[in-house]
Amino acid sequence: MTNTDGTNPPVSTDKLHRAYQAKNPVETAAVYDDWAAEYEQHMKNVGYTHPAMVAAMVARHVAPTARRILDAGAGTGVLGEILSALGYTNLSGLDASTGMLKIAALKENYHDLSHQFLGQPLSYADDCFVLVVSSGVFTQGHAPLDGLDELVRVTRRGGHLVFSVARTYLDGPFELKRQQLEQAGLWRFVDASGRYNSAPLEDNLIAQVFVFQAT
């Protein structure tokens, strides 16, 4: 497999680039099911920064709490580990990959984990989370930006959404989705990180973390 510029991706992010090229959520989930056992080691090899960046922005704006938090696209639970250690203890998680969820469950940081797809209706009630987080999910070949609609729905008024946006979504598509939700009166902008490389040791995957408040 080659990148769009004709180069081969690093070994550690080869499957990530395969996921970028997936044609539908089922294909994406299959890539991650196949990758689950090696995922965290590969991400460590590239200096993966998404979970730390999202957790840092959470800590900047939301005090540690025992109220319900949703990790949307929990994967193997890397972000959940960090948040739990920081005092955010009432974690629910969802992911499209059952293989990744099995590893997340072994860490025992989540009260519940479920197999669900962002971009489809979620099983949670309206206004049931004080905080929704998502790390490395809103990007090419992964969750569609329409997945934000359901995340806003399940966030209580005054609650926060903290998530990364990367690759082709970052310039153009996300701005349109942001404006759509703002104009509908569903959220307001709070903060954004600077842009950063989410795989600085072996690749060049630019991203940014955003914080919004449900209104």
**CATH code of the domain in which 163 resides:** 3.40.50.150
In a domain, 34, yes or no: yes
183 CB contacts (<8 Å, ≥6 apart)? none
Domain assignment present for 74: yes
Residue 170 located in a structural domain? yes
Decide if 6 is inside a domain. no
User: Averaged over 26-55, what is the pLDDT?
Assistant: 89
In a domain, 4, yes or no: no
pLDDT of 46 above 50: yes
- Asked if residue 5 belongs to a domain, the reply is no
Neighbours of 54 (CB within 10 A): 27
- Rounded distance between C-alpha atoms, residue 215 and residue 213, angstroms: 6
- For residue 1, tell me if it sits in a domain: no
Q: Give the model's confidence band at 10: pLDDT under 50 very low, under 70 low, under 90 confident, else very high.
A: low
3-state helix/strand/coil string of 85-143: HCCCCCEEEEECCHHHHHHHHHCCCCCEEEECCECECCCCCCCCEEEEEEEEEECCCCC
Q: Is residue 88 part of a domain?
A: yes
Which residues form the domain of 17?
11-214
- Structure tokens that stand for 97 in this block: 């990959």
Helical ranges in the chain per DSSP H: 14-20, 25-45, 50-61, 78-85, 98-106, 147-154, 173-183
Residues 204/197, Cβ–Cβ less than 8 Å: yes
Confidence of residue 5 (pLDDT cuts 50, 70, 90): very low
Q: How many domains does the chain have?
A: 1
Question: In whole angstroms, how far apart are CA 202 and each of 11, 27, 50, 61, 76?
Answer: 9, 25, 15, 31, 21
Is the pLDDT at 103 greater than 70? The verdict is yes
Candidates 99, 85, 89; CA nearest to 29 is 99
Average pLDDT over residues 64-92: 97
- Average pLDDT on 7-32 reads 75
- By three-state DSSP, how is residue 84 classified? helix
